Amino acid sequence: MEDGANPRRWKAFGVCVAGAALSVLDLTKVNVAVPSLETRLGASPVELQLVIAAYAVAFGLVLVPSGRLGDLGARKPLFLIGLVLFGAASLLCGLAPSASALVSFRALQGVAAGILMPQVIGFIQHLFPPAERGRAFGLFGGITGFLTALGPVLGGVLIELGGTQLGWRMTFWINVPLLLALLPFAATLLPRTAPTVAHRMTIDVVGVMLFGASVTLLMIPFVLTSGRGGDDSARWWALLGCAVALVAFLCWERSYSARGNDPLIDLSLLRIETYRYSLLVGSIYYAGMPAVFIVVTLFLQQGLGVPAGLAGLAVVPFPLASALAAVGIARLLPTWSRELVWAGLGIATGGFLLVLAASSALPAGSVTWGMSAALALAGIGGGIVAAANQTRMLQHVPIARGGVAGAFGQVGQRTGTAIGVAAVVSSYFSTLAGIDDGSRLEGYRSAVSGGLAVAVGFFAVALAVSLLDRQRSPEQRRGTTPEV
């Protein structure tokens, strides 16, 4: 089936995208609920970051082991388990009586998403023949980029409908009926997959533990940075522990593989130039992009007094432009993915610089619409980056390693998101800590400008890294171009 054409492949693709949509939306739609969580649950700055980061951390920890299990033949059962667990966790999040309880339930939600997402990547590898795979991954990358930015819009609408008391709870409860509707389609349309590895079905338990420790220790100091003073500087010692755990993990993986076992992460993937650079680019880009929408929605609601629903609508130009751009370049992806990544990052960086300029220079009555217009330009670049980089990452990865390769890419993105959110949001709050009532608006302008400047720095680094990728596509080497 991997080399043939499954007649139901596009319907199955729709199921995969729908499952991924729910997990991606929950990365960002809670952003506009942050002010409600602060007032209704009395959440501290660190707890507010943990509500966002607990999801990303748990997501990242589970991705690679679940991708490995999917490659061993359990892809469809894991997809169904992930859907059910995600629905249950969403229900619990909406019922959370306190900020600490919400953090715990968000971590459970992240575990479910981490089970689900690698199966989506693996299914796309499995369902489509090579001639169509680039298009499918391009569409998937564009759609997920679109949904990442659409999250705040949906969250804002739900908060407006439910009010500050129930609105934030509705952002979680909305998942339950959608998942119940998706389950029968997943059960009937998704194919069962055979193991894509030739060895016995083993799980690298020690590798899972060491990898989990590395990721957790890396994220801890950033997640615990509030930006409001009083942060314990001892948290940075966790990075030393991360380095020790990472070295131990790499040594163990080499030893485990040398004994004829299948390691948790096939380190030979990093020898594939397109995969290596795309992994880095995706991780750095997603450090900045989701964080932008957190500080923008905070600025609009807290600094300008914009209602949550309107704050969500203000960022609609980004996902709309992102979707149109991703679809528009789909046929160019197999040949020009590298160049499209360069162009997309350049456009996105320029667009977000204009967002920064609008937030700091336009009159108060024009800021919202000025930022929206700039976000449209950034969205064009964002859609190109999401589609092209996803295609580029897996373009030369064998199907047998697609699940783990895709999962590791998602780990990079989720780790980047957790670090980026901490860096951008702490910059925002640290600036706010010094303002007084007499300079309230200017203080919020400075805060959002500082946060956006950090995010733009991430985009600039991602662009610099992407330029290191010098490998041309097979079509370019043959001197052929796709039909458009």
Do 313 and 153 form a contact (C-beta atoms < 8 A)? yes
Q: What integer is the mean pLDDT of 194-216? A: 74
* pLDDT at site 483: 47
More confident of the two residues 384 and 198: 384
Q: Of the given ranges (116-120, 340-344, 429-433, 448-452), which has the lowest mean pLDDT?
A: 429-433
Q: Flag the least confident range among 29-33, 354-358, 444-448.
A: 29-33
Kindly state the DSSP code that residue 192 receives in the 8-state scheme. Answer: P
Residue 476, CB-side half-sphere exposure with 13 Å CA sphere:
12
Range with the poorest average pLDDT among 135-139, 204-208, 280-284? 135-139
Question: What is the torsion angle, in degrees rounded to the nearest 10, for the CA atoms of residue 399, residue 322, residue 339 and residue 20?
Answer: -10
End-to-end distance of the chain based on CA atoms, in angstroms?
Answer: 27
DSSP 471: P
Residue 169: pLDDT band with limits 50, 70, 90:
very high
Q: What is the pLDDT of residue 202?
A: 66
Q: Confirm whether 196 is domain-assigned.
A: no
Higher pLDDT, 232 or 346: 346
Mean pLDDT over 461-469 rounds to 95
Domain assignment present for 85: yes
Measured CA to CA, the distance from residue 46 to residue 224 in angstroms comes to: 6
Higher-pLDDT residue of 348, 45: 348
pLDDT, mean of residues 77-89 = 95
Claim: this prediction has a pTM higher than 0.85: no
pLDDT value at residue 132 = 81
The pLDDT, as a whole number, for residue 484 is 40
Query: Across all residues in the chain, what is the average pLDDT?
Result: 85
- The answer to the question of residue 475 being in a domain is no
Is the pLDDT reported for residue 11 higher than 60? Answer: yes
Q: Does 215 reside within a domain?
A: yes
Query: Does residue 317 fall inside a structural domain?
Result: yes
Determine the average pLDDT of the residues in 167-176. 92
Q: What is the per-residue pLDDT for 479?
A: 56
pLDDT on residue 162: 86
Question: DSSP of 388-428, one letter per residue?
Answer: HHHHHHHTTS-GGGHHHHHHHHHHHHHHHHHHHHHHHHHHH
Band of the pLDDT at 224, cuts 50, 70, 90?
confident
Residue 350 lies inside a defined structural domain of this protein: yes
Percentage of the chain lying above the pLDDT 70 cut: 91
Give the C-alpha separation, 190 to 47, whole Å: 38
What's the pLDDT score for residue 205? 85
CA distances from 58 to 2, 117, 213, 221, 373 (A): 31, 13, 12, 16, 35
Lowest mean pLDDT among 19-28, 218-227, 271-280, 411-420: 218-227
Instruction: Count other C-beta atoms under 10 Å from residue 234's C-beta.
Output: 9
pLDDT at 243 over 50: yes
Residue 34: pLDDT band (50, 70, 90) is confident
| Domain at 337, CATH number | 1.20.1250.20
Q: Report pLDDT digits (tens) over 285-322.
A: 999 988 898 889 889 988 898 887 788 888 889 988 98
What integer is the mean pLDDT of 197-220? 77
DSSP 209-267: HHHHHHHHHHHHHHHT--SSS---GGGGGHHHHHHHHHHHHHHHHHHHHHTT---SS-G
Domain count of the chain?
1
The pair of three-digit structure tokens given for residue 146, joined into one six-digit string: 């679109």
Which pLDDT score, from 0 to 100, does residue 200 have? 55
Q: What is the band of 3 on the pLDDT scale with cuts at 50, 70, 90?
A: very low
pLDDT for residue 109 is more than 50? yes
Q: What is the pLDDT of residue 70?
A: 83
| Residue 2 pLDDT | 45
Confidence of residue 65 (pLDDT cuts 50, 70, 90): confident
Q: What is the pLDDT of residue 478?
A: 60
- 156-175 average pLDDT score: 87
> Does some domain include residue 478?
no
Give the pLDDT band (50/70/90) at residue 229: low
Residue 69 pLDDT grade (very low, low, confident, very high; cuts 50, 70, 90)? confident
User: Domain range holding 107?
Assistant: 9-191+202-470
d(CA 206, CA 253): 9
pLDDT in tens, 348-377: 999 999 999 999 999 988 999 999 999 999
